[in-house]
Amino acid sequence: MSETFDPGLQLEATSDPLGFCYGAGVFGPAPENRSLDAIRPSLLDSQCEGPDPVYSIVMDVGRHEHRNELQRRMLLFGVVAYARGTLGREPVRSQGHVHRVAPHSGWSPPELFEIWCGRALIYMQERVEDDPGRSITVDACPGDRVVVPPGWAHAVISADPRDTLVFGAWCDRQYGFVYDGVRARRGLAWFPTFSQGREIAWEPNPNYRAQQMERRPARRYPELGLLDSVPIYEHLERKPEAIQWVSQPALAEGLWHHFEP
C-alpha cells in the first residue's frame, strides 16, 4: 500500500464494499457507485473484464459548520475511491467528461484535485473535437494537487492496480458532467494501457487527429494562491479566496488562456 495524506476531514474510504464512512462532525451523501457497464463506452476495450463497481463517489462533503459557507460560495467538495485491479489492459479510471456550463457563472468550471492515497494520472485535453488541442497528463502522489482548467475534458486514472486510489476535489456547486463528445469519439484522445510490468503506456485514439501528449509531474500553483502545506479543504477556513476561482473562474480569467496544469 502506498503512503497516504491527511486531508483534514474525518472521512474514511472503504474497499469491501467500496464506499465511505463519515466521522464526527462531517456530513455527506450516500455513495454513488459507477458500474463497469456505465464506463464501457469510453474504454479501449468495451467488452473488458474488471472490478464492478469501478469507483465510488460522494459529492457535497464537508464539516457541519461549513455547510452555509459552501452554499454561499457555490463550492462543493467531492471525494472518490477507485477499486483495485485493471479494466482489461487499461488501468482503473473514470470515463472522461467535460464540465457542464454552470448557470450562475456562465463558465465550464475548473476543478482542483488533491490525491490522498495511491498514485494518480490526471489526463486532460483542451477540446473534444477532431483536433483535441494540448493533451497533458499530470503524475500525482499523495498530497499533490492538480488543476484542470475551465472547459478541458479530463479523466483520473489509477496508476497502480495494487492500490485503492482516493482523492478529493473542489468543484462548482452547480456541477454537471457532459459525456456526449467523449462517447461520440469512443473515448478521449489517448488510452492508458499497462505495458510489460506495471508501467503505463499510451495509445492514441484514431477518432482524433494525431497529436502529441505531454506527461509532467504535479506542481505548485502560486499564481492561484494555494497554500503549500495546507490540505485543499482547509483552505475554506484559512484562505477561501485561494479556492474561490473554482466556482468563479472569472476571478482568474487572465490566467486561463495560457494556463499550464
Dmax of the chain from CA atoms? 50
260: in domain: no
Residues 6 or more apart whose Cβ sits within 8 Å of residue 126: 132, 133, 134, 135, 151, 152, 153
Confidence tier at 1 by pLDDT (50, 70, 90)? very low
C-alpha to C-alpha distance for 168 and 112, rounded to whole angstroms: 8
Cell 490525491 belongs to 115
The number of beta carbons lying within 10 Å of the beta carbon of residue 207 is 12
pLDDT tens-digit series, residues 71-107: 999 999 999 999 999 999 999 999 999 999 999 999 9
Whether omega before 17 lies within 30 degrees of 0, making that bond cis, reads: yes
234: in domain: yes
pLDDT tens-digit series, residues 128-176: 999 999 999 999 999 999 999 999 999 999 999 999 999 999 999 999 9
Give the mean model confidence (pLDDT) for residues 180-196: 93
211: in domain: yes
pLDDT tens-digit series, residues 54-78: 999 999 999 999 999 999 999 999 9
DSSP state of 141: -
Q: Percentage of residues in the chain with pLDDT exceeding 70? A: 99
C-alpha to C-alpha distance for 58 and 71, rounded to whole angstroms: 17
CATH number at residue 215: 2.60.120.10
C-alpha to C-alpha distance for 217 and 140, rounded to whole angstroms: 7
132: in domain: yes
76 has which bridge partners? 171
C-alpha to C-alpha distance for 115 and 140, rounded to whole angstroms: 7
Average pLDDT, rounded, for the chain: 95
Give the mean model confidence (pLDDT) for residues 193-201: 84
Higher per-residue confidence, 207 vs 15: 207
Q: For residue 69, what is its C-alpha cell?
A: 459557507
Instruction: Specify the pairing of strand 177-178 against strand 145-148.
Output: unpaired
The range of the structural domain enclosing residue 30 comes to 11-246
258: in domain: no
259: in domain: no
Res 16: pLDDT: 86
For the full predicted model, state whether its pTM sits above 0.85. Answer: yes
User: How many structural domains compose the chain?
Assistant: 1
Instruction: Say whether 240 sits in a helix, a strand or coil.
Output: helix
pLDDT tens-digit series, residues 25-60: 999 999 999 999 999 998 999 999 999 999 999 999
Residue type at 14 in one-letter notation: T
